[in-house]
Amino acid sequence: MEKTGPIIFIDDDEDDQVYFKPILEQLAPNNPILFFDNGQSAIDYLRTSDQRPFLIISEVSMKVMSGLELRRQIEEDPELRKRAIPFIFFTHPVYRHLVEEAYELTIQGFFEKQSNIEQLRSQLQSIVSYWSNCLHPNRFTSKDIY
């Protein structure tokens, strides 16, 4: 995980993309925000880019490829799995079986999108803050000895 790498936001609702962009830009000004409208376009990007994303935030239910299938493909791809990109689901509505399935795929968080802008901002702030401060295997370089 790279602290200044892009935040990958995957959601097929264009309104959500427009809604979340300024919030994420304010909360993480050093991270480019890359939007994808389905899991397939996101996995294509991840497989062809050498950038080290800071974080993936994904909707669960999408056309073409769901967030769950995206996560499954990341876990099954040795190169992508090795990159250990933090993966968060940010979705609405939430169903117990989806939460259970998501955690079986070793995600790092599952959040229900709130309808209030301040609650949404607070959720995203918590996510960005946590991963900004968290030690992670991808933070170390070959020069680090500890």
- Return the CATH number at 54: 3.40.50.2300
The answer to whether residue 144 sits within a structural domain is no
Distance between CA atoms of residues 83 and 96, nearest Å: 28
The answer to whether residue 33 sits within a structural domain is yes
The answer to whether residue 146 sits within a structural domain is no
Tokens, residue 139: 């933070």
Question: Which pLDDT belongs to residue 16?
Answer: 84
Question: Which pLDDT belongs to residue 51?
Answer: 87
Closest CA relative to residue 51, chosen from 80, 17, 87, 94 = 80
Instruction: Answer yes or no: are the C-beta atoms of 124 and 16 closer than 8 Å.
Output: no
pTM of the predicted protein model: 0.89
Question: Which pLDDT belongs to residue 136?
Answer: 66
Instruction: Answer yes or no: are the C-beta atoms of 6 and 51 closer than 8 Å.
Output: yes
The answer to whether residue 142 sits within a structural domain is no
The answer to whether residue 61 sits within a structural domain is yes
How many other CB atoms are found less than 10 A from the CB of residue 127? 22
Segments of 51-102 assigned E as strands? 55-58, 87-91
Number of domains in the chain: 1
Per-residue pLDDT of the chain (146 residues; tens, 9 = 90+): 467 899 999 999 888 888 899 999 999 999 999 999 999 999 999 999 988 899 999 999 998 999 999 999 999 999 999 888 999 999 998 999 999 999 999 899 999 999 888 999 999 999 999 998 887 666 666 565 55
Residue 67: which domain range? 7-135
31 DSSP assignment? S
